[in-house]
Amino acid sequence: MRSYFLIGFFLCFITGSLFSQEPNHLKFKVNKGAPQFASENEQFKFGLGGRVYLDAAAYFDDKTDLGSGSEMRDARICFKAEVLKKWNAKINVGFAGGEVSLKDIYLQYNISTNSYVRGGNLLEPFGIEQTESSKTTKFMHVASTVEAFRPGRNLGVSYVNWGKKRYWEIGLFGSDINNTTEGDEGYGLTSRFAYALLNSNAIFHLGASGTYRTADSNGFADDGTENAKSIRYRSRAATHIERRRFIDAEIENAESQFKLGLEMIAAKGPISLQGEYMEASVNRKLLNGNFSAHGWYAQFGFLLKGGDYKYKIKSARLSKPNPKSLEFLIRYNKTDLNNSNIGIMGGKQQDVSLGFTWYVNYNVLMKFNFSNVDLDENALNEKENFNMIQTRLQFSF
């Protein structure tokens, strides 16, 4: 119910601002494939965006019978508005799999040219790939470590500030917009700080993120007592078409969790390096029974064509390569959800991926990924090793 209320509120904001302008005084243009309207005095702007991803995957040497196939990985429509150069609103709705899902939906107030506060359904500021648009992530699927530990989108409010070399965001968040479980929902405080020691001819960026979150309610038993709360970490095997999670740790009797993330970006000319380390600890009601897990990835990029890598301090990450660029990628990931001290063995995954991305133009790109995945004896179907080839045709505006 609250999801429909949120959409309705932001639609009223956008359409109310739109119809406050006289139609014959609106200017129209297309910017990088996206249609935009603006008043003559530039005090009001309204734009449309969207994306479609068509994916295919083939799996080999699999002990588990994996389902090779294809899917429309993502399909979205996005509405954006700017009013008086101080207020921004965004509604981003997905339709992948034939289901409606709410993505970024927020209202933003611009405090200055380098700071703002926003509230709505937001990505929590934790690391690089967690906060990066899927339009610009290097591989078709985020690293397993990121999928396992990322906090995702939640209802909340955040403050963002950046300078020539630094970036900082902090936010207070409630639960998932689709959470309908009875009882008190959890809350979280999340922050990310990054500092770019170099960000011109060469790029060198270090950062850290942290999040503290209480566990969501798990409903009530028939006698009215509250069910034990739980926290879960899990991840797919470097792919989305095969939906099963091969590593999965559910921690029962959980009270709260703390997650730490460390990040690094380095680039010089057409060569880039990026890596993240994440760890999570869960505080439980049981004595001497706290859970901990960790993971990391490192990736290398080389622009075979298209110039040099560039950096955006406003989001503290590498910029999208230029149109007509050709990029070669390598990534190694290791995620360990085993904790033998308390007998929760969620499995360990190691994977190596190779990728090629062709940025056909600003709106179209094509991806080719090869991955080898190695799982330990605590994974879904015990120890196994398999390979996959994946491709994507992506259109966005």
Which domains does the chain show, CATH number per domain? 2-396 (2.40.160.10)
Average pLDDT in the chain: 93
Binned at pLDDT 50, 70 and 90, residue 6 comes out as low
Kindly state the helix (H) or strand (E) to which residue 134 belongs, with its residue range.
Answer: none
SS3 for 17?
helix
- In sequence order, which residues have a C-beta less than 8 Å from that of residue 112 and are 6 or more positions away? none
DSSP secondary structure letter of residue 129: G
Q: Quick one: pLDDT at residue 97?
A: 86
Rounded Cα distance between 39 and 49, Å, is: 19
Tell me the pLDDT tens digit for each residue of 53-80.
999 999 998 788 999 999 999 999 999 9
Tell me the pLDDT tens digit for each residue of 327-356.
999 999 999 999 999 999 999 999 999 999
Q: Quick one: pLDDT at residue 178?
A: 84
Residue 49 has pLDDT above 60, yes or no: yes
Q: Quick one: pLDDT at residue 186?
A: 93
Q: What ranges make up the beta strands (E) of 166-270?
A: 166-173, 188-199, 202-214, 230-235, 247-252, 254-268
Q: Quick one: pLDDT at residue 26?
A: 84
Tell me the pLDDT tens digit for each residue of 198-246.
988 999 999 999 999 999 998 888 887 889 899 999 999 999 999 999 9
Q: Please give the average per-residue pLDDT across 367-391, as a whole number.
A: 97
Binned at pLDDT 50, 70 and 90, residue 17 comes out as low
Rounded Cα distance between 273 and 198, Å, is: 14
Q: Quick one: pLDDT at residue 226?
A: 86
Q: Quick one: pLDDT at residue 234?
A: 98
Residue 10 has pLDDT above 70, yes or no: no
Q: Quick one: pLDDT at residue 98?
A: 86
Q: Quick one: pLDDT at residue 359?
A: 98
Q: Quick one: pLDDT at residue 253?
A: 93
Rounded Cα distance between 160 and 167, Å, is: 8
CB distance 125 to 106 below 8 Å: no
Q: Please give the average per-residue pLDDT across 98-103, as a whole number.
A: 91
In 3D, which of 55, 53, 51 has the Cα closest to residue 32?
A: 51
Binned at pLDDT 50, 70 and 90, residue 182 comes out as confident
Q: Quick one: pLDDT at residue 7?
A: 58
Binned at pLDDT 50, 70 and 90, residue 320 comes out as very high
Residue 2 has pLDDT above 70, yes or no: no
